[in-house]
Amino acid sequence: MDRGQLIETMQEILGPEGVIHQREELRTYECDGLMNYRVIPDLVVLPESAEQVQQIVKTCYDEGIPFVARGSGTGLSGGALPVESGVLIVLTRLRRILEVDIPNGRVVVEPGVINVWVSQEVADEGYYYAPDPASQIVSSIGGNLAENSGGVHCLKYGFTTNHVMGAEIVLPDGSVVHIGGGKSPDVPGYELLGAFVGSEGTLGIATKITLRILRQPEDVRTLLAAFKDTEEAGGAVSGIIGGGIVPAAIEMMDALTIEAVEKQISPGFPEAGAILIVELDGPEAEVEHQFEHVIRVCEENEASAIRVAEDDEERALLWKGRQAAFGAMGSISKDYYVQDGVVPRTELGAVLKKIADLSEEYGLRVANVFHAGDGNLHPLVLYDNDTPGEADKAEELAGEIVFACLEHGGSLTGEHGIGRDKMKYMPKMFTSDDMDVMQLLRCAFDPHRICNPGKIFPTPRLCGERPGPFHMHPVQKAGLAENF
């Protein structure tokens, strides 16, 4: 089928308003939230129903055309980067909330529904949807599903995968399956849903998603504490968590980030080497008690200032400063490269020091904002694209930071996903056997390799192959530290 015929076929399925094929318009889809990689898709289609998605995928399958699914296009790893000569399936028009089932604490939505709409829909009943990535005002549930998005509250409440109960999936061959049980727990079979969430759109397209909603907590308290430096702040974090408290959120920002945020948003953050924003929620008695403990720990760690939010407005302002941190970087630097490494919390201090050393070595500033509770760092390497060579240096520095995370027992990515961006680092974290075995899963779902190919795994595995005989990776054999 040539391009003209493909366009016609798609227009028959979707109507002319569902197919974008003009060059300039295609170009607006050539990247998602990560601008470093761009590929012009052959065709962009915007289905309005699950049936249309199925028809599109079936057509691609029959014709051997690769496709990539995209939500709001705010991903930070290039997961929605189109594939050359492929179709980009944009799910933004599947945006209905299909069912609200308060007695079972479930909501069924289409993938284009924006994260924050779910909570709004059930707010009147006193419920909310817990996963709250910083992009929640614009990112879609489908996208959250693909990346297993986290957010500032995921230490206590978990990630998207802990809140997705079921999904209707269009498999790459165009067939439809329902995995996960939806409203019923413990459905017999493999945890296909658990494997699907976080698979970055490489196993199929979810067209209906059952989400779990929670009752809003009785009490919420938030405070901001300022410290001399990240080390002291880190000490406070350990003290809080070591005291047996699981805060609803605990975020850290360093001096550079504070500067940018104050410039752009002016939430009134104090000048400090590092600040912590801690939030506790739950039953009133518990929150009260825990809050006292938190304040005590902050004081013990020489907090230079402690500010408790008196009301919702102040609390919202504190969080505004945190949520807009990435965007605010634009005010102190022309360009920035954000990473998403994870380290065990006990290694935070050491890794932050390493980052500071690297920053000096490379002569580029690195701002740090991160989820202190679960060790998920977002180092922002600041650079100027117009200075020759700086972009490459920035990328190299970012890579070094990632290696540092791995060396200390962490992970390549906590919430942004591997996508295209971190593919090259995968061999640093996994052996080729590890990746081969993961790709067995991919072969089961997508034997023809048309579903978002070229993402996650640097070396694609042909699905006809059997796994090879067991062999120990030379690094393991040599007894060198394994990145587990």
Partner 1 sequence: MVERNGGRNGSGGEDRYSATNATERRDPEGTTGEEAMAGAIGAGSPEDIGQSTRAASDSIQQTIGADRAESGSYTFPAFDDHHPPEKDLIDDCVHCGFCLPTCPTYVLFGEEMDSPRGRIYLMNKGLTEEPMNDEMVRHWDLCLGCMACVTACPSGVQYDKLIEATRQQVERRYERRADDKAFREMIFQFFPYPNRLRAIAAPMRLYQRFGIGDKLRRAGIMQRIPSRMQAMEALLPDLPKEEKIPDLTGPVGERRRRVGVLTGCVQRVFFSPVNAATVRVLAAEGCEVVAPKQGCCGALSTHAGREEESLNFARKTIDTFEDLNLDNVVVNAAGCGSTMKEYGYLLRDDPDYAERAKAFSAKVRDVSEFLQELGPVAERNPLPVTAAYHDACHLAHAQGIRSQPRQTLKQIPGMEVKEIREAEVCCGSAGIYNMVEPEPAAELGERKANNILKTGAQVIVTSNPGCMLQIQSSLKKMGHGGLPMAHPMEVLDASLRGEPVETLLDK
Partner 2 sequence: MQTQNVPTEELQGIVGEEHVREASAEDAVDGVEPSLVVEPGTIEETSEVMKLANREGLAVSPRGSGTKMGLGNPPKQVDLILSTTRMDKIIEHVPGDQIVRVQAGLRLQDLQENLAESDQMLGVDPPEEGATVGGMVAANSSGPRRLRYGTVRDLIIGIKVVLADGTVAKAGGKVVKNVAGYDLSKLFTGSLGTLGVIAEANFRLHPIRETARTVFLEVDDHAKIADAVQDLTHSSLSQFVLDALEMRWEGDRGVIAALFEGIEPAVEAQSSAATEVLRSHGESRVLGEDDGETFWEHFARRPWTTGDVGLKIGAPPSDLTAVLDSVVGAVERAGIEVRISGHAGTGVTFAGLSGGEDGLVEVVDEVREIRLRRGGSVVVQEAPLTIKERLDAWGSVGDYLGLTQRVKEKFDPEYTMNPGRFLGGI
Contacting partner 2 within 432-461 (CB under 8 A): 433-438, 440-445, 447, 456
Binding partner at 365 among partner 2, partner 1, none, C-beta below 5 to 8 Å by kind: none
The contact pattern for partner 1, residues 94-133, with x = CB under 8 A and - = no contact, is -xxx--------------xxx-xx-xxx-xx-x-x---x-
Place of tokens 């902050």: 298
Give least dist CB 151 to partner 1, A. 7
Kindly state whether residue 403 participates in binding partner 2, applying the rule CB under 8 A: no
- Residue type present at position 472: M
The contact pattern for partner 1, residues 212-241, with x = CB under 8 A and - = no contact, is ----x-xxx-x-------------------
Among candidate residues 211, 209, 201, 182, the one with its CA nearest the CA of residue 445: 201
Eight-class DSSP state of 382: E
Binding partner at 183 among partner 1, partner 2, none, C-beta below 5 to 8 Å by kind: partner 2
Kindly state whether residue 255 participates in binding partner 2, applying the rule CB under 8 A: no
Read out DSSP for 49-117? Answer: SHHHHHHHHHHHHHHT--EEEESSS--SS-TTPPPTT-EEEE-TT---EEEEEGGGTEEEE-TTSBHHH
Contacting partner 1 within 407-466 (CB under 8 A): none
Tell me whether residue 66 or residue 82 sits nearer to partner 1 (CB atom). Answer: 82
Distance (Å, rounded) from C-alpha 162 to C-alpha 180?
12
Tell me whether residue 242 or residue 268 sits nearer to partner 2 (CB atom). Answer: 242
**Interface pick for partner 1 out of 7, 46, 256, 358 (rule CB under 8 A):** 46
Eight-class DSSP state of 393: H
**Interface pick for partner 1 out of 52, 74, 202, 290 (rule CB under 8 A):** 74
Tell me whether residue 364 or residue 405 sits nearer to partner 1 (CB atom). Answer: 364
Side by side, which strands form the sheet with 87-90?
Answer: 19-20, 43-45, 87-90, 67-70
**Candidates 14-22, 63-71, 296-304, 425-433 — which segment interacts with partner 2 by CB under 8 A?**
425-433
Distance (Å, rounded) from C-alpha 397 to C-alpha 381?
8
Distance (Å, rounded) from C-alpha 336 to C-alpha 155?
27
CB 430 within 8 A of CB 424: no
**Interface pick for partner 1 out of 106, 178, 228, 320 (rule CB under 8 A):** 320
Give least dist CB 229 to partner 1, A. 26
Tell me whether residue 138 or residue 176 sits nearer to partner 1 (CB atom). Answer: 138
**What's phi and psi for 41, nearest 5 deg?**
-70, 155
CB 184 within 8 A of CB 67: no
The contact pattern for partner 1, residues 175-214, with x = CB under 8 A and - = no contact, is ----------------------------------------
The bridge status of strand 43-45 relative to strand 87-90 is parallel
Q: Is 185 left (phi over 0), alpha (psi -120 to 50) or beta?
A: beta
Helices (H), 302-454: 312-323, 325-328, 348-362, 390-407, 426-429, 432-445
**Interface pick for partner 2 out of 2, 186, 310, 313 (rule CB under 8 A):** 186
Kindly state whether residue 289 participates in binding partner 2, applying the rule CB under 8 A: yes
Contacting partner 2 within 87-116 (CB under 8 A): 101-105
The bridge status of strand 249-254 relative to strand 274-282 is antiparallel
Tell me whether residue 155 or residue 256 sits nearer to partner 2 (CB atom). Answer: 155
Give least dist CB 137 to partner 2, A. 21
Binding partner at 234 among partner 1, partner 2, none, C-beta below 5 to 8 Å by kind: none
Binding partner at 324 among partner 2, partner 1, none, C-beta below 5 to 8 Å by kind: partner 1
CB 142 within 8 A of CB 159: no
Kindly state whether residue 236 participates in binding partner 2, applying the rule CB under 8 A: no
